Amino acid sequence: METRSSAPRWPYAVSGVLAATAGTAAGHLVAALVNPGASPVVAVGATVVDATPTPVKEWAVSTLGTADKPVLLVSVALVTMLAAAGIGLLARRSRTLALVLLGVLTVLAAAAALARPTSTPADVLPALAAAVVGVTTLHLLARRADRLAAPPAPATGGSTEAREAERPVASPLDGTAYEAGALPTAARRSFLVGAAGTAAAAAAGLALGQKLGANPTLPTAADLPRPTTTLPALPTGLDRKVPGVSPFRTPIGSFYRVDTSLIVPRVNPDDWALEIDGDVANPFRLTYAELLDQPMVERDITMTCVSNEVGGGYVSSARWLGVRVRDLLERAQVGRGADQILSTSTTGFTISTPVQALTDDRDALVAVGMNGQPLPARHGFPARLVTPGLYGFVGSTKWLARLTATTYSREEAYWTERGWATDAPVLTQSRIDTPQGLQTVKAGRTVPIGGVAWAQGRGIRKVEVRVDDGDWMTATLGPDAGIDYWRQWYVPWKPTGSGRHNLTVRATDNDGQLQTQSKAEPFPKGATGWHSVVVFVE
């Protein structure tokens, strides 16, 4: 339908935005019943993540932190709304073309959903629902917007022509009779009522979709099995003595999260199973109940993201409960030619880990518990891989679904394809937690300089602190929970005078290797350098 409407432009722009919103709500609602990852905005966002160059991803992680995913989803939604507003404006002149373009947007969402690694034909249904609802909504709202192009009220007077003009006029679109001069008011009311109803229906659809797409009820601590090998309670950390130092055990709510999933995957433990396959003599699968029946061990392990900048916060420590990976691989009988285990998440995301790292005595785990609780959904429920001594991108697959014995020459994982290292042992690092950068402290008053240091697989022997270019001071170390766990440390400092001072820390691991001063970016195998902060004394 081609139009040359004289109606104002804003109702058409609003019609386009509301049509896209209603379509998105419908797609989100259907996705909650089919696959939450197939929701149009999520599917497009995930495709954007995969296509984003590594430097941009690193910038997003370092700049936006854990807000990177919400920012991306909001950005996709805003771009979609701007495009929809433009399509709505086009509907004022060319209705057919506008409806076609709105349909094209949903086709792109369908293509993004079907391009996901674990997609099924059913994943096109959310985009189909979005197309039907969006196109229908735009058609109906644009028709109401057309009615705002009403004939003007005639001039008053007693002539025959004036009396004829005062007769009811009919809408050029549907024949409804209005008094002359009254059409704009009635049409405006009709449009606003339709727009408000559409907005309310879209909000209800989004809320219902969010509720239906929520994760199922998770097991409780009482549902976790008792470990066959238990650990003594962690000793009291320095954080009780030195305010500002990171807690010895990171609370679950504060544990860092870095992954590529825009939404937390919804995994029903009753439908989940772990597959062990590939170059093995005895492939097998374990349901969640069967996994919990396996011999369990506890391990205190610090985890670090390779994206962590020097002094960054992407490092946390927890007590993990799980099954030794080497026990599972021994049962599977991995072939001698396999040099990597390709682990796959329920979303299709892959990580490659050296076979040696999963079969030696470091006790890599298929973890089911964290700090005495079942794994939270955001940290990998129902099971995740935890490999001590390796950065997360080569040893910590969340929402684990498969372990495949293969070779590096045959299979490339997600990050390997993007140029990151295939084997990335955690580098020795230390961080100043207190005082914080640019903080002001009092002269003549003792100030604790404190923080944490880590060198998983080797452990920390010594931490040293320097003020400006002065002598290195040996720090007091906190309790030792093993070579795979971080060490807290602190040095009492009594500043004199006033002005700016630079505090620097470095660590030495148990192999006698001093943390390198040479600065390097996280890509491709971890950041290096000494952490420094500037403080002011008054």
Phi-psi region of 175 (alpha: psi -120 to 50; beta: other; left: phi over 0): left
427 Cβ contact list (under 8 Å, min separation 6): 455, 515, 516, 526, 527, 528
Mean pLDDT of the chain: 91
Task: Determine which helix (DSSP H) or strand (DSSP E) holds 291, and give its type and residue range.
Answer: helix 288-292
| Structure-block tokens of residue 152 | 């003007």
Evaluate if residue 118 carries a pLDDT over 80. Answer: yes
> Domain 429-537 adopts which CATH fold?
Immunoglobulin-like (2.60.40)
Hey, CA dihedral for 409, 415, 417, 423, is it positive or negative? negative
pLDDT of residue 68: 82
Q: What angle do CA 359, 315, 217 make, to 5 degrees?
A: 80
| Domain limits, the chain | 10-212, 222-418, 429-537
Task: Tell me what the mean pLDDT of segment 330-355 comes to.
Answer: 97
Beta strand segments in 212-264, E: none
364 in Cβ contact with 428 (< 8 Å): no
CA distance 101 to 13: 14
Q: Which of 422, 537, 384 is nearest to 468 (CA)?
A: 537
- pLDDT (tens digit per residue) in 182-230: 456 888 899 999 999 999 999 999 999 988 877 777 889 989 999 998 8
475 close to 509: Cβ distance less than 8 angstroms = no
Please report where in the chains the tokens 């009753």 appear, as a residue: 270
Q: What is the pLDDT of residue 180?
A: 45
3 — pLDDT class (breaks 50, 70, 90): low
Residue 156 pLDDT > 60, yes or no? Answer: no
Confidence of residue 162 (pLDDT cuts 50, 70, 90): very low
Residue 236: what pLDDT? Answer: 96
How confident is the model over 472-517, as pLDDT tens digits?
A: 999 999 999 999 999 999 999 999 889 999 999 999 999 999 999 9
pLDDT for 117: 87
pLDDT at residue 4, as a whole number: 54
CATH 3.90.420.10 fits 222-418, yes or no: yes
Q: Give the separation between CA 448 and CA 202, rounded to whole angstroms.
A: 54
Paired tokens of 274: 């772990």
Measured in whole angstroms, how far is the alpha carbon of residue 460 from the centre of its chain? 31
The token pair that represents 188 in the structure block: 């405006």
Q: What is the pLDDT of residues 428-455, one digit of tens each?
A: 999 999 999 999 999 999 999 999 999 9
Task: Look at residue 55 in the predicted model and tell me its pLDDT.
Answer: 84
For the beta carbon of residue 360, count every other beta carbon within 10 angstroms: 14
The pair of structure tokens assigned to 451 is 């923080």
